[in-house]
Structures are given as structure tokens and as C-alpha cells.
Amino acid sequence: MGDYGRYLLLLLFIVVLITRTQSLPYDVHWLGGPTTIERDVPTPNKGTDIYCYTGTPKNLFALWQTVKFNIKIKNDQFRQYFGDSPEQVYAEYTEDSYGWSSVVNPFQKKAQRSVSIGLFTPTCMAVNTKEKHTIELQVLRVDLWRVLLMFAGIILIFSSRALCANPLFFYLCGIFVGVFASFMVFVFYISKLLPRKTLTYGILIGGWTVGVYLFQQIWENIRTLILTYQTYMFWYTMIVSFASFVVCYRIGPPKNQRSKNLVMWTLQVVGVLMIFFSSEYQEASAAVIIASLVAKYFPQTLINRIRGYWRRKFPPKQRLLTSEEYYEQGARETKMALDNLRKYCSSPDCAQWKIMLKLNDSKRFASFVEGNSHLSDDEVLDYESYAFSLERTRKPVPMANSTRHMEISSDDDDDTDYDDD
């Protein structure tokens, strides 16, 4: 009877759990990888679909990873709701459905078709629409933009000293700052035309949501103007860029070392920010920043000491030169030394007359300076005979050849004596 009671209690628990699960007003779809879900036009009796990304553990393979929620729909008549849990998303969804959102947040952020979500934390999303749509969880294992951003930051840190003194980089930065600053001045003067009191009262009455809404509307209008009047924006950019280049050319690149240091440190700060925001794994990106700065500012003397210790501990194996390499190196170094000596003797630093007074053969010195050989014909002949004698002693001559040579030599001697007689 005891076992029967246990089975009955377990069955009752399962029934209650199933009933509770079925009574939820929403359906949760847990997604752990690349997934595509198609949804037809929702029916009134159907529950809300909530899509949740489970997150991924922190590891080095997720250094350049990106996760996105993509919504494929024909029009923009939809709203999105995000949260850390399905309950939070459903609460926002019900508030919007019952009209409470018009009081709490009447100017909700415009829905986006592609939204990047947190990589390591669970994220849930619900879509409110009456159109047929498709939900896609896109997982980019290696996001190329993140890789380029990180390596660009590293390169900017290591090349900051060279860039701060580069005129081309100075002109490009000046043109960019000129265009951006002129655009900001243009927006500032346009904002002067707006009624300040009405705007202030509207922000005080409506709260921060009215201010956010107005700034969003201004940005949308500016973006619309840029897209509509592309030709005018192009010529505006070209004219302002030319004016900025003229101003930068008149001022010139910075020559003071302290000004260069300020530019260098600014570039390094920009590089650090690029590396930090290139990955959602902030601990790993911070480690890359520290490693880059340590490698950049590591003392050169300590590096030389480490190299010296390594060479003493593990000396490289020396290779001896062959006879041909020794002869080629000797001829090359001798020719280089003679050319340098000839250039020095032809330069104004050399006192040619004093040297010629100390020499026995001044004509030979002048001939050498003019480009002729430093050896006379007799010296060349003596060197060749000496080399030939060394070659003979190194390679013994066969017996038959030596006998024949001796006979020829004796004949030559006899002929010579006969001629003398």
C-alpha cells in the first residue's frame, strides 16, 4: 500500500506539472545555436511566442563571436520586447497589449530587423505583429568586423609614435575633424531656431521620454536629408574637406615633442578602446590590451640583457667558410675597402699634396685616385707566379709529365746556351 501511494503521488505531481505548463499564456523556445523558426499569422487563442537564447560559457573560442536575432518580415509593423527571462518579456508584452505602454513609455525605440544580443547571458525576445514572419538566431563564430577592429587597435598602439609625426595622417585627421566639426556647428545653429521655452516645458512635463523622442526625430530627419540630398552632401563634404586641408597645410604638422606626445597618447587611447569593444569577452580583451602595452613599453635594455643571456646559454653554432667563400669574401671586402679609400682620397677632407710629398711614386697614387688598379704589372705577375707555385706544390705532377717537363727544360737551357755562344 505504501508503494501504491508513492506512485499515486508521483502521478498527481506530473499531472499538476503538465497542467501548470499548459496553462502558461506563452510558449518559450530555448535556442542554443543557429536556428530558424517560421511563424504564420497569429490567432487570438494562441499564446505568445518567446524566443530565448541560453548563452554560451566564456572561453577563448568566443573571443570574436557574435549572436544576433534576425526578423524577416515584409513591413515594419511589429514591435520587439527584450528581457533576461520569459516572465519579464511577457510582462512588457502584456503592458503594451493592454495600452499601459502609452503611459509608461509612449516613445518606444523603433523595432529593428537585426539585433545583437548578449553572448554570455540569457536573453529573451518576443515579437508583436500580425504579419507572417521568420525568427532566425544567427551565430557568427568568427565575426570579421570584430577581428579587424581588434587588430586595427593593436596596430594603432604600436604605430602611434610613427603616426604622430606622419604628415599624411595629420592631414587626414584634420579633414575628418573639420567635416565633423562643421556638421556639428550646423546642427547647433539649427537648434538655435527651435523654441526653447516650449521645448523645455515639454521635457519637464513629459519627462526624459519626450527628450529621447525629440532627439530620435531629429536624427531621423537628418538621416532622411542625407539620403535625399546625396549630391549636395557630397559637394558639402568636398568643400569642407578642401577648406580643412588648406587650414592644416597652413598650420603644418606638429613639431613640438610635447604636442607629438599628446597625439601619440590620444591614438593609443583610441587603440585601447577599439580592442576593448572588439569583443564581448571583456576579460580576454583586457588581457590583450595589457599584453600590447607591456610589449610596447617593455624596456629595451632588459630585452638586450635577455638576448645576451640566451646567446651565452645557447650559443649559435658557427660555420666555417669554404675555400671558395673565403676567396670571394676577401675579394669583395678588398674591393669595397679600395673604393672607400679612393673616395676619401678624392674628397676635400684628404690632403692630397701632403700625401704625395711623403710617397716615393706620386704618379702611381694619382693613377689610383683616378680609378686605375693599385697594383703594377710586375706585382700582378709575381702574385700569379706565386699562386702557380702554390698550386703545383698542392697538386703533385705525374711522373711522365715531370720527366717530359724536365727534358723540355733541359732543351730550353741548351738552346739558351747555344744562343749565348
Q: Under a CB-based contact definition with an 8 Å cutoff, are residues 160 and 229 in contact?
A: no
Mean pLDDT over residues 360-364, rounded? Answer: 81
pLDDT on residue 99: 46
Q: What angle do CA 327, 329, 334 make, to 5 degrees?
A: 95
pLDDT on residue 407: 44
Phi-psi region of 258 (alpha: psi -120 to 50; beta: other; left: phi over 0): alpha
In this structure, the dihedral spanned by the alpha carbons of residues 269, 274, 276 and 277, taken in order and rounded to 10 degrees, is 140
Query: Mean pLDDT: which of 6-15, 282-291, 319-328 is highest?
Result: 282-291
Q: pLDDT per residue over 120-178, tens digit each?
A: 888 898 888 888 888 888 888 899 999 999 999 999 999 998 888 888 888 888 888 88
pLDDT on residue 397: 47
Give the confidence band of 6 by pLDDT, cuts at 50, 70, 90.
low
Better-predicted residue by pLDDT, 223 or 347: 347
Q: Is the pLDDT of residue 117 over 80?
A: yes
Q: Is the pLDDT of residue 413 over 70?
A: no
pLDDT on residue 387: 73
Better-predicted residue by pLDDT, 300 or 198: 300
Closest CA to 80 of 33, 121, 43, 115: 115
Cβ neighbours for 295, distance < 8 A, ≥ 6 positions apart? 158
Q: Name the β-bridge partners of 31.
A: 53
Which amino acid is residue 289, in one-letter code?
I
Mean pLDDT over residues 201-205, rounded? Answer: 53
Measured CA to CA in angstroms, residue 163 lies from 147, 166, 167, 170 at distances of 22, 5, 8, 8
Give phi and psi for 25, each to the nearest 5: -80, 10
pLDDT on residue 42: 65
Q: Is the pLDDT of residue 4 over 70?
A: no
Q: How confident is the prediction for the chain on average, in pLDDT?
A: 77
Give the confidence band of 401 by pLDDT, cuts at 50, 70, 90.
very low
pLDDT on residue 289: 94
**Percent of the chain at pLDDT exceeding 90:** 12
Measured CA to CA in angstroms, residue 48 lies from 92, 202, 361 at distances of 12, 36, 110
Q: Is the pLDDT of residue 56 over 80?
A: yes
Regarding pTM above 0.85, the answer is no
Mean pLDDT over residues 275-285, rounded? Answer: 91
Closest CA to 25 of 50, 52, 48: 48
Residues making up the chain, counted from first to last? 421
Give phi and psi for 157, each to the nearest 5: -65, -45
Q: Is the pLDDT of residue 278 over 60?
A: yes
Burial-class residue 256 by CB neighbours within 10 Å (0-12, 13-18, 19+).
exposed
| Domain boundaries, given as residue ranges, for the chain | 14-142, 146-296, 323-420
Better-predicted residue by pLDDT, 271 or 102: 271
Sheet holding 133-140, edge to edge: 35-39, 133-140, 66-73, 114-116
The CATH topology of domain 14-142 is: Jelly Rolls (2.60.120)
Cβ neighbours for 303, distance < 8 A, ≥ 6 positions apart? none
Better-predicted residue by pLDDT, 134 or 1: 134
Cβ neighbours for 127, distance < 8 A, ≥ 6 positions apart? 49, 71, 78, 79, 80, 81, 133, 135
